[in-house]
């Protein structure tokens, strides 16, 4: 259990030490509990769709006592534990994680409000008796989308081929898009994720369903406002929209941009990002894995030249129109100006249409 730093309590040598530990846990409980409640009140007037179960520090320590299985995600990892005779994921946070930008309490509150959705990793509960809260999720046999796309040795060929078939990629894209649509439309004011990327998405290896997680950087737009300006840019390089990186301007469209980069990576299975050079009025696709740091002018690219060869081997030119439609969606989502990008609900509808076309094609072939 050495990899769960800060969670293990040393054995107390006296009753006074035990009393001190209990007092600390009680103080953390009050401090962290009030912070979670404050977030829930702000999001939904305290009416949580899925009740949050609170676990004790002892529950968590027992649950992870013999665990060695990890699932790596953005900003750390989750470990497998056992609570009430069922497997769960237990997510801890490194000491540096709680700061002015990462809001663990908001993560708990938002995840609880979205846990009825199949495309969000369901929150079972949390423990607030440690200095850094611990989140407990449902267990699924899963891998991160990042590992699936870019880490070659994590899966056997058959598993990867199944999870990254063309139909599976379309389903993954649609599930992630639908989760973001919920964020943007189903709360009192739109919530902007701000850190959409493959390492914040896991894929259920049994069902193929993509699940979004990690809402710690998310922010709500002010009531009646379409944008908000922050002092500092948060997120991950390569996924941050131009207007956000340049002017710290947050709108729904910055999530659209980040999603567009994810869609590009699903299409190519290369760790590509986009680059806008305003002084040249040029828009490039950049492949950091290329030793020459190749920059490709997006207007000169043909989708059949950059699509993952595995997709073409699977279906050939029969899905050419679907590939072109996805490529067109990538360009729309990553447009330089936010107002030129579609809203996520439009993106989700287009992905649903493309997936429907693929299913119709598959049925015809069978």
DSSP string, 132-184: S-EEEEE---EEEHHHHHH-TTSS-HHHHHHHTSHHHHHHHHHHHHHHHHHHH
Q: Where in the chain is the domain with CATH 1.10.510.10?
A: 143-365
What pLDDT, on the 0 to 100 scale, is given for residue 45? 58
CA distance 104 to 114: 15
Span 274-299, mean pLDDT?
Answer: 66
Query: Given a cut of 60, is residue 12 above it in pLDDT?
Result: no
**What is the overall mean pLDDT for the chain?**
84
Active-site residue (options: 195, 255, 287, 308): 195
Q: What mean pLDDT comes out for the span 138-166?
A: 88
Hey, what are 258's tokens? 């980040």
85 CB contacts (<8 Å, ≥6 apart)? none
pLDDT of res. 291: 54
Is residue 195 part of the annotated active site? The answer reads yes
C-alpha 291: how far from chain center: 28
The Cα–Cα gap between 119 and 263 comes to 16
For residues 101 and 241, what is the distance between their CA atoms, to the nearest angstrom? 18
143-365 topology per CATH: Transferase(Phosphotransferase); domain 1 (1.10.510)
pLDDT greater at residue 156 or residue 126: 126
- 3-state secondary structure (DSSP) of residue 270: coil
Pairwise pLDDT comparison (68 vs 306), residue with the higher score = 306
Query: What's the pTM?
Result: 0.88
User: CA dihedral defined by 50, 53, 54, 58, rounded to 10 degrees?
Assistant: -150
The answer, yes or no, to whether residue 187 has pLDDT greater than 70, is yes
Contact 95, 132 (CB under 8 A): yes
Where does the chain hold its CATH 3.30.200.20 domain(s)? 16-138
Q: Mean per-residue pLDDT for 143-163?
A: 86
Residue 8, pLDDT above cutoff 50: no
The answer to whether 6 and 130 are in contact (CB under 8 A) is yes
Partners of residue 53 on adjacent β-strands: 125
Query: Is residue 31 pLDDT above 90, yes or no?
Result: no
Higher pLDDT, 47 or 129: 129
How confident is the model over 267-283, as a mean pLDDT?
72
What confidence tens digit (pLDDT) does each residue in 106-125 have?
A: 899 899 999 999 999 999 99
- Alpha-carbon torsion angle 91, 96, 101, 103, nearest 10: 30
3.40.50.300, 3.30.200.20, 3.40.50.1820, 3.40.1260.10: CATH of 16-138? 3.30.200.20
């Amino acid at each position: 259990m050495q990899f769960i730093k800060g969670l293990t309590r040393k054995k107390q040598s006296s009753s006074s030490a035990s009393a001190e530990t209990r007092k600390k846990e009680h103080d953390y409980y009050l401090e962290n509990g009030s912070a979670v409640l404050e977030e829930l009140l702000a999001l939904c007037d305290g009416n949580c769709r899925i009740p949050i179960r609170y676990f004790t520090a002892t529950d968590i320590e027992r649950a992870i006592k013999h665990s060695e299985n990890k699932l790596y995600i953005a900003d750390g990892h989750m470990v497998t534990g056992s609570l009430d005779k069922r497997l769960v994921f237990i997510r801890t946070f490194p000491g540096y994680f709680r700061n002015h930008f990462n809001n663990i309490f908001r993560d708990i509150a938002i995840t609880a409000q979205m846990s009825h959705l199949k495309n969000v990793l369901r929150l079972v509960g949390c423990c607030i008796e440690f200095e850094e809260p611990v989140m407990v999720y449902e267990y699924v046999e899963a891998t991160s989308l990042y590992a699936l796309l870019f880490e070659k040795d994590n899966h056997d060929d058959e598993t990867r081929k199944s999870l990254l078939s063309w139909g599976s990629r379309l389903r993954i894209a649609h599930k992630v898009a639908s989760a973001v649509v919920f964020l943007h439309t189903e709360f009192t004011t739109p919530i902007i994720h701000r850190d959409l990327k493959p390492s914040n998405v896991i894929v259920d290896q049994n069902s193929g369903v993509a699940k979004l997680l990690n809402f710690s950087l998310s922010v709500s737009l002010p009531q009646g406002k379409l944008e908000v300006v922050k002092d500092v840019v948060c997120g991950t390089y390569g996924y941050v929209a131009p207007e956000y990186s340049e002017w710290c301007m947050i709108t729904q469209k910055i999530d659209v941009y980040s999603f567009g980069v994810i869609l590009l990576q699903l299409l190519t299975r290369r760790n590509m990002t986009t680059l806008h050079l305003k002084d040249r009025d040029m828009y490039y696709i950049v492949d950091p894995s290329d030793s020459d740091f190749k920059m490709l002018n997006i207007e000169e690219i043909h989708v059949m030249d950059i699509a993952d060869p595995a997709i073409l081997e699977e279906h050939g030119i029969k899905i050419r129109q679907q590939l072109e439609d996805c490529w067109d969606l990538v360009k729309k989502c990553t447009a330089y100006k936010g107002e030129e990008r579609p809203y996520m609900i439009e993106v989700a509808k287009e992905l649903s249409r493309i997936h429907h076309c693929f299913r119709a094609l598959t049925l015809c072939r069978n």
